[in-house]
Chains A and B, each alone.
Chain A
Amino acid sequence: MAGPKYVLEVENVHRIYESAAGYTHAIRGVTLRVPRGEFLCIMGPSGSGKSTLMNILGGLDRPTAGVYKLEGVSTSELDDDELAELRARRLGFVFQRYNLLPRATVLRNVMMPLIYTNVPVAERELRAYKALRVVGLPEEYYDHRSNELSGGQMQRVAIARALVNDPALILADEPTGALDSATSELVMELFAKLSEQGKTIVVITHDPDTSSWGDRTVHIRDGRLFTEEEERALIEAAMRSGADINARRGHT
């Protein structure tokens, strides 16, 4: 497969928000590399900085300090329109709340990223059909409006939309957060299948069941990343001493 070894390279990235109340250090020196074809889960509790990291990885936000490269391209050096172009061509997003256009049909929702890259209409339809077949949505639903579908079907459409531009990276933010456990499992099975087909996938979640589907899981707490082993060691040490895990983390 052509291109750099790592689809995603994050080097000592910080994200600091400035507001009237002061500064919020949401991401504190995160370093992360994701090789092509990996299925990575980033797990963390609410407020840990995982959405902020997701926004940076998705090119929706820029780091305050540090370097983030997607397929070797540093996002800090791109202007807004170049970032939009990068998102249109190299990224696929799956959101917790699906974010489909309710008034548009399934097919039009899936084709939407392609209208911003000027893909010819006939090719768009072919690619949308292909993506919808990959996610296993029956053809009878293609002309339905998206708000006529169930939650699981909507998430399948959202995944098809993320696949349609053949992205280098699929980013999913709590993709099972709005689904029941049976449907969640079906959706995660789909991600696993895509991963087997060579897609690079990063799923952000707070749910251990969801993260168990990944090839690798990293943990995020207070804007810092920990490996599975570091996280386990932290928890065990905290349990032994009865101390707060967040207080221990400062000494690692």
Chain B
Amino acid sequence: MRPGDLAQETWSALSANKGRSALTILGIVIGIGAVITMTSIIGGISNSMAGMFGANAARVLTINLHGISNFTLDDVAELAKNIPDVEYTMPKAQIQHEATYEKTKVQATIHGEVNKVFEAHGYKLLQGSGFTEEDEKRGSREIILDQYSVRNLFGNTDAAVVGKSLKIGNDEYMIIGVADKVNTFSMTQYDSQSIEGIVPITTAITRLTGNPNITSIEAMTSATSDADAVAAQTKEYLSRRYKLQDSKEEGATRTVSVESNKQLMQQVTSMTSSFQAIMVTVSGISLLVGGIGIMNMMLTNVTERIREIGLRKALGAKRFDITSQFILESICLCLTGGFIGVVLGLLGSFALCGIVGAGLAAAVTGSADPVLPVIDPGAILNAVLTCVITGLIFGWYPARRAAKLDPVESLNHQ
């Protein structure tokens, strides 16, 4: 039997029972639709989480020093020189202070940073500009706020605030820019009584803390290096250079921890993968039920078409011809269900993200950008393959049953 004939016979058989075929594939439609919706949304959440940490997040090392009182900006610069795979370092300081704009007083979280932090964490400037090297060197009284801080102080996130002054402690700080965010995890979106901003690190330690000691640093590793290996190298260098103790030692007071964000990113990936695995399992059960529905219909089909099978055998159909016809019918049913499922799944993921995307983003990543579904060609290909396999598995038994029918008994079947 030629493939073209097989296709024509299959189409003829399926189109003869359109209503029943449509009901039969419902399970497959739901199963595949659920898989595609979940995969797209989880892909979107995963992207949002990756976006939260920045595009270069996996390359960033976080260094925390404990029990050291004389680690200055010079030491930070020396660290960058001594570890070849560290492209640049980002010393950090954080201060809680009261801030005042006109008569409004709020609690401010001020981050002392270098300008490179924008590149490292993917913070986007919405208004104004960042610091220059000159600003960093001279410790200028300039601040960059996040968009929600602008809302909390000035009424809305789009308010033109560049050039306005804010009083922090006894000093006036000029707002030179507004960024989408100035910290990975920020509460300004939810707490209207607080603001967050970035000042140059030199400003932070000279004017706000009055303490030149740096205890927290981030380091950007080179794109070609292994962040974990650079982390180990950095820890080894710092321990040797400053005679630090191993944190596992009992009573250790001078210690350092160097962690790679790669591990954090892997944890995020692992978490989303686990979530995805659970969803795929649940959807798989739906597919199994759908497959059983297909088998049930195919068995009914075989029973209803016993005389036709007998006739085909009398006219020369071999077992293979009968088997392949029924299996192809089953695969076509599953593929049609799968195709509809993929389309509905994609539409569903866009619809769901449209409805709950913003809330999902806020809940999972704290970001204001809504979660957008990700169309994964791999997931679609998997769905198609799953349909073919489901059709094969659940079509096999009815097809073999049809092929084994005795032609004489089949022709005499009432």
Binding site for B on A (CB under 8 A): 55, 58, 60-61, 80-81, 84-85, 87-89, 93, 95, 99, 101, 103-104, 112-113, 115-118, 121, 161
- In B284-298, the 8 Å CB interface with A consists of none
Q: Which of A80, A81, A104, A113 contacts B315 (CB 8 A)?
A: A113
Chain B residue numbers with a CB within 8 Å of A84 are: 313, 316-319
Expressed in whole angstroms, the Cα–Cα distance for A212 and B313 within the complex equals 31
Q: How far is the CB of B355 from chain A (nearest CB, A)?
A: 45
Expressed in whole angstroms, the Cα–Cα distance for A89 and B317 within the complex equals 11
Q: How far is the CB of B227 from chain A (nearest CB, A)?
A: 63
Q: Which of A61, A88, A99 contacts B316 (CB 8 A)?
A: A88
Chain A residue numbers with a CB within 8 Å of B411 are: 60, 95, 99
Q: A116 touching B408 by the CB < 8 A rule?
A: no
List, sorted by A's number, 13 A–B pairs whose CB atoms are closer than 8 Å.
Answer: A60-B408, A85-B316, A85-B318, A87-B316, A88-B317, A95-B411, A101-B311, A112-B312, A113-B316, A115-B2, A115-B9, A116-B321, A117-B316
Give the residue name and chain of the B residue nearest to A88 (CB): B316
Give the residue name and chain of the A residue nearest to B5 (CB): A115
Give 6 new A-B contacts, CB below 8 A, not counting A55-B408, A60-B313: A58-B314, A81-B320, A84-B313, A84-B316, A103-B12, A121-B4
Give the residue name and chain of the A residue nearest to B317 (CB): A116
Q: B319 touching A87 by the CB < 8 A rule?
A: no
Q: A112 touching B315 by the CB < 8 A rule?
A: yes
Q: Which of A99, A103, A121 contacts B16 (CB 8 A)?
A: A103
Give the residue name and chain of the A residue nearest to B314 (CB): A93
Expressed in whole angstroms, the Cα–Cα distance for A240 and B311 within the complex equals 46
Q: How far is the CB of A120 from chain B (nearest CB, A)?
A: 9
Q: B316 touching A116 by the CB < 8 A rule?
A: yes
Q: How far is the CB of B312 from chain A (nearest CB, A)?
A: 8
Binding site for A on B (CB under 8 A): 1-2, 4-5, 9, 12, 16, 307-308, 311-321, 407-408, 411
Give the residue name and chain of the B residue nearest to A124 (CB): B5
Q: B2 touching A118 by the CB < 8 A rule?
A: yes
Q: Which of B9, B16, B308, B319 contacts A81 (CB 8 A)?
A: B319
Q: B314 touching A87 by the CB < 8 A rule?
A: yes
Q: A99 touching B311 by the CB < 8 A rule?
A: yes
Q: A61 touching B408 by the CB < 8 A rule?
A: yes
Given A101-B308, A103-B12, A103-B16, A88-B315 contact (CB < 8 Å) = yes
Given A99-B307, A115-B1, A104-B12 contact (CB < 8 Å) = yes
Q: How far is the CB of B113 from chain A (nearest CB, A)?
A: 75
Chain A residue numbers with a CB within 8 Å of B408 are: 55, 60-61
Expressed in whole angstroms, the Cα–Cα distance for A104 and B411 within the complex equals 18
Give the residue name and chain of the B residue nearest to A100 (CB): B311
Expressed in whole angstroms, the Cα–Cα distance for A103 and B9 within the complex equals 11
Chain B residue numbers with a CB within 8 Å of A113 are: 315-316
Q: A116 touching B314 by the CB < 8 A rule?
A: no
Chain B residue numbers with a CB within 8 Å of A95 are: 411
Chain B residue numbers with a CB within 8 Å of A104 are: 12
Expressed in whole angstroms, the Cα–Cα distance for A93 and B2 within the complex equals 23
Give the residue name and chain of the A residue nearest to B410 (CB): A60
Q: How far is the CB of A166 from chain B (nearest CB, A)?
A: 13
Q: How far is the CB of B13 from chain A (nearest CB, A)?
A: 8
Chain B residue numbers with a CB within 8 Å of A81 are: 318-320
Given A99-B307, A116-B1, A60-B317 contact (CB < 8 Å) = no
Q: How far is the CB of A115 from chain B (nearest CB, A)?
A: 4
Q: Which of A89, A93, A118 contacts B1 (CB 8 A)?
A: A118
Expressed in whole angstroms, the Cα–Cα distance for A135 and B319 within the complex equals 31
Q: How far is the CB of B342 from chain A (nearest CB, A)?
A: 30
Chain A residue numbers with a CB within 8 Å of B318 are: 80-81, 84-85, 116
Chain A residue numbers with a CB within 8 Å of B16 are: 103
Chain B residue numbers with a CB within 8 Å of A88 are: 315-317
Give the residue name and chain of the B residue nearest to A164 (CB): B315
Chain A residue numbers with a CB within 8 Å of B307 are: 99
Chain B residue numbers with a CB within 8 Å of A58 are: 314
